[in-house]
Amino acid sequence: MAKSIGMSHWIAQGSAAEMIYRHAAVIDGEMVHFEILDTAGQEDSLQIEEKIKWGDGFAVVYSVTDRCSFDEVMRLCFLINHLHGSPKRSGAAEQPPVVIVGNKKDLQFDRMVSTQDGENLSKALKIPFYEISTRDSYEEPVAVFSSLYQELLRQGHFSPGSFKRRTVSKLMEKIPKMQASSSLNSAGRSLSFNSFRDYIPE
């Protein structure tokens, strides 16, 4: 399944083992506290809608080795936009921060979705696109989360008075929470995950 990842603000979709990860990182000198929901498996549409409402930013992740996961991306992006799109003063709708992420690009011989496919979808939906390998790269997944955070900042999400009332339903309260471990890298920045996989339970 394609998944979107909620950051404290963000979300996703997946199987039985659903988890909210708490994670602190310094981005551009700012300490940022993330809550990341890795959604699990097949869910009914009410459940996924509730989780999408909870998130502030979204990484819709597919595997480049799984065409079905790619085919889910458009539906999820439309659903996110439908539930979060807000009209700007100009009248045009402002999209919530969403990125499309093709994971497992290291598995070249198992690839079923080309980079061009990802780029075409990104252009059609006007949503940024990343191809990453959580196995091979630390920086690539970090860039995904940084870009979502930057977009939230740009949209004034963290300005005084902008905090929305968080939808915390009985369903969301049931999802276990986990504190990611913190470490300080050589540049002195606090980074609390070793790879994107720290966000995504096995």
Ligand X SMILES: Nc1nc2c(ncn2[C@@H]2O[C@H](COP(=O)(O)OP(=O)(O)OP(=O)(O)O)[C@@H](O)[C@H]2O)c(=O)[nH]1
Binding site for ligand X (CB under 6 A): 1, 3, 14-15, 40-41, 103-104, 106-107, 133-135, 197, 200, 202
The residue (of 45 and 109) whose beta carbon lies closer to ligand X is 109
Beta bridge partners of 177: 20
Please say which residue, 144 or 152, places its beta carbon nearer to ligand X. 144
Q: Tell me the closest approach of the beta carbon of residue 200 to ligand X, in angstroms.
A: 4
Token pair recorded at residue 76 = 């999820």
Strand 98-103 relative to strand 10-11, pairing:
unpaired
Distance CA 202, CA 157 (A): 31
Nearer to ligand X, 39 or 95 (CB): 39
Six-digit token pair at 45?
A: 């549409």
148-183: burial string, b at 16+ Cβ within 10 Å, e else: bbebbbebebeeeeeeeeeeeeeebeeeeeeebeee
15/115 with CB nearer ligand X: 15
Minimum distance of ligand X from residue 106's CB (angstroms): 5
Concatenated DSSP letters of 163-189 = PPPP---HHHHTS-EEEPP-EE-TTS-
C-beta of 133: minimal distance to ligand X in Å?
A: 4
* Nearer of residues 138 and 158 to ligand X, judged by Cβ: 138
Q: Report in angstroms how near the CB of residue 66 gets to ligand X at its nearest.
A: 8
**In the bound complex, what is the minimum distance in angstroms from residue 90's beta carbon to ligand X?**
38
Q: Where are the alpha helices (DSSP H) in the chain?
A: 45-54, 67-84, 115-125, 139-154, 170-173
